[in-house]
Copies of this chain bind each other. A is one copy, B any other.
Amino acid sequence: MTNLKQCSQQDVANFLKFANDIVDKARDIARHYYRQSKKQWTKSDNTWVTEADCAIEEMARVRVKEQFPDHDFFGEEYGDTTSERQLKWCLDPIDGTMAFVYGLPTFGVLIALTENSEPIVGIIELPAMKERWCGARGFTTTWEGQPCRTNLDRSLTDTAVFATSIDMFSDEERELFNRVSLNARERRFGADCYAYGLLASGYIDVVMEADMKAYDLMALVPVDEGPGGIITDWDGKPIKLDSGKQVLAAS
């Protein structure tokens, strides 16, 4: 790392404002293509990529480079910068591209800033729903500008466990997921990143997922920790840039 001095609260506030400006533009791009464009392709891992993913990531990369030429950038579509600078932006231009392709409104835009590999700013934006959660170290998480709080009233046996799909787990992981989720009141699939926002706002209580990448994960941490949620890997360790693919979030 080039500089280990921690960002000030004012720095964090400025980065959050900058991230919001990028997401404003990303919302417009996503809404422009949603249910309109048939230009989509399959990547080598058999997942989707669309015109919207590419346009959003290109826009964000250009803006970060202009504004913060000394920051790193890791995006889903165009990869990771190889340097090890103190600050790195992580972007999933469309999280839930499957939902996006099939016209479902649960897809999102995820952007985060990491400092020495710890996420300090995160935004979960739902373009189709026009809903946005913003989290940052030292700040209260907000939903559409209003402060959020998680729900502390429900036990596991009285609530649902969320995951995007039963197919996101390896056989071994599925066994563990089943052990947790079949002890809950019920389980629910298909919420994508929306689940982590709904957790910050107190609507849901547990999300347990696997097969995540760093650009999927970083934005979730400040959003869910801000209002008192706990978000770690399956071993209970903090989520950082070099974490594994698993995440467990709870109110």
Q: Which residues of A contact B (CB under 8 A)?
A: 35, 46, 98-99, 102-106, 128-129, 160, 162, 165-167, 186-191, 194, 198, 201, 203-204
By the criterion CB–CB under 8 Å, are A103 and B201 in contact?
A: yes
A189 to B186, Cβ gap below 8 A?
A: no
CB-CB under 8 A for A98 and B188, given A106-B106, A203-B103 = yes
A98-B129 in contact (CB<8A): no
CB distance from A142 to the nearest CB of B (A): 16
CA distance A191 to B106 in the complex (A): 10
Contact of A190 among B128, B191, B201, B204 (CB under 8 A): B191
Can you list 6 A-B contacts (CB < 8 A)? Answer: A102-B188, A103-B203, A103-B204, A104-B106, A104-B188, A165-B189
Which of B46, B190, B194 is A188 in contact with, Cβ under 8 Å? B190
The residues of B that contact A198 with a CB separation of less than 8 Å are 102-104
Cβ-closest chain B residue relative to A166: B166
- Chain B residues within 8 Å of A99, by CB: 188
The CA-CA distance from A167 to B163 in the complex, in Å, is: 13
Residues of chain B with a CB closer than 8 A to A98's CB:
160, 186, 188
Q: Which residue of B lies closest to A192 (CB)?
A: B190
A106: which B residues are within 8 A, CB to CB?
104-106, 190
Chain B residues whose CB sits within 8 angstroms of the CB of A189 once the complex forms: 165-166, 189-190
